[in-house]
Structure 1
Amino acid sequence: MSKKQHSNQTILWIISFIAIVNALGYGIIIPLQFSYVARFGINTFWVGVLFAAYSLAQFISTPIIGRLSDRFGRKPMLAYSVAGTAISFLLMALAHNALMVFIARILDGISGGNISVAQAVISDTTDHKERAKWFGILGASFGMGFVFGPAIGGALSAISLQAPFYFAAFISVIATILVIFVLQETQRKDAREKKPVAKLFDLRHLVTALFEPYVGLVLIASFIASFAFSIFILGFQAFTNDVLKLSPTNISLLFMMFGVIGLVMQGAGLGKMVKKFHEVPLLIMGTVVTLLSFIGMGASNTFTMFIIFSIVLAIGNSFLAPIITALLSKHTKKEDQGGIMGINQSYVSLAQIVGPIIGGVLATISVHYSFYGAAGVLVFMLLLTLIIARESGKHVINL
């Protein structure tokens, strides 16, 4: 292995660690969110508003962070982002009223949109043949956080409800130190953009990106996939609580199962499968498997059937995000990698704002409707992937 290859490997593993830190923080919050914020008089409705506020803040900030990373480099924006996450967790631990909780979560949303920068780092340091593999490893790193986060949060909450947030802040500080003192800048100086600050946040970027050849189709696919999954999550929570009557511990085990399967599929299997089948056929396959899983889960009337379709869902859904990211990267200029990843993450955040609201309405009518609604959305995704397949290879830019 050459010195440059070794350096790139170090960079990529640091980025993977940052992804683990992000997911751990989110995973730690999952088992504690209701009991922790209930102390401040925040009921279930306002918990939903709290998460919507986080997603809205991330929706606005992520493309800005991505654009700034294109102009000033990846390293300073990663340092800002991870440090902001550390401060937000510390504020959560020190919170003594609802306002502080909202400020902490909004701060995390504003500063935590580093996924676009992490993806841009991968684009900077890999060729197009290795890119899908490393996007898969990035997804697997999130999976590790989602596996261990709830377990860590549950264990530390036995000490105090604040302890998990202090721990999350501590590991975020470690990640910040790694970024500042170990991570090397991956973007060439001659590739950095010189755009006026006024255009760093411009909703027209989100709209005009949809009309870019091929990239626009992939962005729409990304939004639809996230929208469907956000609808599903509401149905999943309602079904496991109200129909299956599972305990919080068993629900946590299901989330851990999703994380383990995603970890294996994205970390070990995706790179090999891309080499054999290529990105777009895998995207179609993942969409079909996920769609059928939603239908199967909605029709389930036993715990065993529900678990079987949950496992199938975890396998199929593990393909979607890293494949979409790889396609966006392959069809975008190198100097625009941070920007397009930020725009993509904004559409994901937008889906995560709207999706739970639709899912909640459907679940109010019938808990099964959330699964069927998510499946119906993926029908449009399937049609779109067929169009993407037809257009593949016509607009490849970043080779």
Structure 2
Amino acid sequence: MSAVKTKEQIRKNVLGSVFLTIFLDLVGFGMFIPIIPLVARRFGASDSEAVAVASIYSLGTLLAVAILGRLSDRLGRKKLLLGTVAVSTVAQFLTGLAQTYPILLAVRFIAGMASGNISVAQACISDVTTPQERGKSMALIGIAFGLGFSLGPAIGALISLFFPDHSLLGIGMAAAVLNLFNLVVVARRLPETHHGLAGPAMRELVEHVQKAGNPKATEQTTGVWWQDFRRLVQDKGFRIVLLLGFLQVFGFIGVESVLSLVLNDAFYITEQKHQYYAFMYIGFMLVLVNGGLTRPLIQRLGEVRTLNLGQFLLGITMIALPLVAPNHTLLYVFLFTLAAGSGLSNPSISSLTSRLAPNHMQGFALGTAQTLGALARIVGPATFGILYQTMGGGRSLFVSAALMLLGWLVAVVGLQSTHKRFMAEKVASN
């Protein structure tokens, strides 16, 4: 087998393993979505305390993502993924055994910390893909998210229907088994991708990627974390992308956190199973967009233009949803544009974050972006819950629309030079 084919096979193995790891992790997480608030109520929690379970999960992620990303730059990607998947397995098992609200909070916090491995998974992708390939490869994470978001709640709902008296235990055991399988996949199929710890064939691939990558890759020293952070944010484009990532998650969480209420109050979809269908539809559309649209668009237009399109679609969607109620046909039209906007924006932001950072700081850079995303997921639900109550329901989505369109305007103006530079690099590489 030629060296080119060997490199391509290694790359495919890494991308396939990372995809499966994220997919299984998201399915395990999604299985709990339909039941956790109801279980928290059963444990005596108020409605606000029941919602707080999701926030405590995101708090765990917030505290972990940057640390895990930075540790992976020093200790290697595989070790961190193995450790976090093992912790997630234990956390899912303990969630199934939880009998009180405080224990439920504690184990979901631990599970949230383990989910911080998303920055490590992104770093694996950046290790083995050239800048020109990175955007379409990051779309794999979007596909995994979409599949997990679609299948996870459905599986959780089915388990709840078959085991109504022990649904939390059944879901916890099923999620733990999935994570055990995930652990085996990482251990057996995923090679170490960190340049300093990789085997000879992988090291050759990473060196090839670095030569085609960011000129800053020659800077091979790291300092304490705040020094590294200062070096990252010296780049204007990187600062803008961090801001856009935060606005993206904070604005999107405005829809996600109140969508079930909007479906109930504005579109009169009151049966729980029909609400599940809406969320499954969004997940399925995310898979289609990431699999069939995002990758060729990034290849053709570049990350900046694809990001612009995605944010514009999200802004228009959030304006339209309250206005088209209670028309169910138009609801599903705009749920598709919601999925399309997210499916175009998120991989573009991940790719831009990676391409604007030095190669030896990929884990830290992606972890920093995920930290801001986790912060948005903590404050977003509470913020939009208050807005939903004070602004008369669905009109609270206008705030999300304003944030998305603000991000779109910032990207259009602030990332022009970044777009021109990347397109010039694409031309030069061809």
Q: Normalization by structure 1: what TM-score?
A: 0.93
The answer on 1:267 being equivalent to 2:270 is: no
Residue aligning to 1:376: 402
Q: Calculate the aligned-residue CA RMSD, in Å.
A: 2.2
> Of the candidates 354, 368, 371, which is equivalent to residue 329 of structure 1?
354
**What is the aligned counterpart of 1:12 among 10, 15, 31?**
15
SS in structure 2 opposite 1:112?
helix
Partner Cα separation in structure 2 for residue 379 and residue 270 of structure 1:
20
Residues 352-371 of structure 1: per-residue CA shift (max 9 Å, x gap): 11111221111002112221
Which residue, out of 342, 364, 371, partners 1:346? 371
Inter-partner Cα distance in structure 1 for 2:55 and 2:67: 19
Opposite residue 353 of structure 1, the aligned amino acid is: I
AA in 2 matched with 1:175: N
Quote how far apart the aligned CAs of 1:88 are: 0.8
Quick check: 1:223–1:351 contact (8 Å CA) kept in 2?
A: yes
Instruction: Select which of 366, 383, 401 maps to 1:358.
Output: 383
Amino acid at match of 1:165: G
For the residue of structure 2 that corresponds to 1:184, the secondary structure is: coil
Say if 2:17 and 2:190, in contact at 8 Å, map to a contact too: yes
- Give 2:111's aligned residue: 108
Identify which of 257, 262, 265 aligns with 2:281: 257
Aligned-pair distance for 1:193?
A: 7.3
Separation in 2 of the partners of 1:283 and 1:221?
10
- Aligned counterpart, 1:304: 329
The AA in structure 2 aligned to 1:256 is M
Partner of 2:171: 164
Task: Please list, as runs of the form range in 1=range in 2, the aligned pairs for 1:75-154 lying within 5 A after superposition.
Answer: 75-154=78-157
In the alignment, what sits opposite 1:242? 265
Which residue of the other structure, out of 48, 51, 61, is the alignment partner of 1:48?
51
Q: Would you say the 8 A contact 1:22–1:142 is kept in 2?
A: no
Residue by residue over 1:210-265, the C-alpha shift from the partner in whole angstroms, topping out at 9 and shown as x without a partner, is 44331111010000011101122233121112232321111111111111111011
Q: Which residue of 1 is the match for residue 202 of structure 2?
A: none
How many Å separate the matches in 1 of 2:140 and 2:190? 18
Q: Secondary structure at the match of 1:332?
A: coil
Q: Within 1, Cα distance between the matches of 2:256 and 2:273?
A: 17
Contact 1:210–1:217 at 8 Å: present in 2 too?
no
- 2:53 and 2:220 map into 1 onto residues whose CA distance is 35
Q: Distance in 1 between matches of 2:62 and 2:232?
A: 15
Q: Which has the higher mean CA deviation after the structures are superposed, 336-345 or 357-366? A: 357-366
State the secondary structure of the residue aligned to 1:383: helix
| CA deviation map 1:322-373 (0-9, x unaligned) | 0001111111111010000100000101111111122111100211222111
8 A Cα contact 1:71 1:194, kept in partner:
no
Give the AA of the match of 1:330: R
Q: Are the aligned partners of 1:283 and 1:324 in contact in 2 as well (CA < 8 Å)?
A: yes
CA contact (8 A) 1:234 1:363 kept: no
Q: Which runs of 5+ in 1 are unaligned?
A: none
253 and 182 in structure 1: CA distance in 2 versus 1, 3 angstrom threshold: same
For the residue of structure 2 that corresponds to 1:357, the secondary structure is helix
Distance 1:231 1:292 in 2: 14
Residue of 257, 264, 276 corresponding to 2:300: 276
**In 1, are the aligned partners of 2:258 and 2:384 still within 8 Å (CA)?**
yes
2:311 is equivalent to residue 287 of structure 1: yes
Superposed displacement of residue 304, structure 1? 2.6
Q: Secondary structure of the equivalent of 2:31?
A: helix
Q: 1:65-114, CA deviations, whole angstroms, 9 ceiling, x for partnerless residues?
A: 00000000000111111111111100101111112111111101222201
Q: 2:182 matched to 1:175? A: yes
Q: 1:209 to 1:48 in 2, by over 3 A?
A: farther
- Calculate the TM-score normalised by the size of structure 2: 0.87
Residue 222 of structure 1 pairs with residue 245 of structure 2: yes
Matched, 1:189 2:196: yes
Aligned-partner Cα distance in 2 for 1:230–1:312: 16
Instruction: Say whether the 8 Å CA contact 1:210–1:220 is kept in structure 2.
Output: no
Q: Structure 1 residues 207-216 or 169-178, which shifts more? A: 207-216
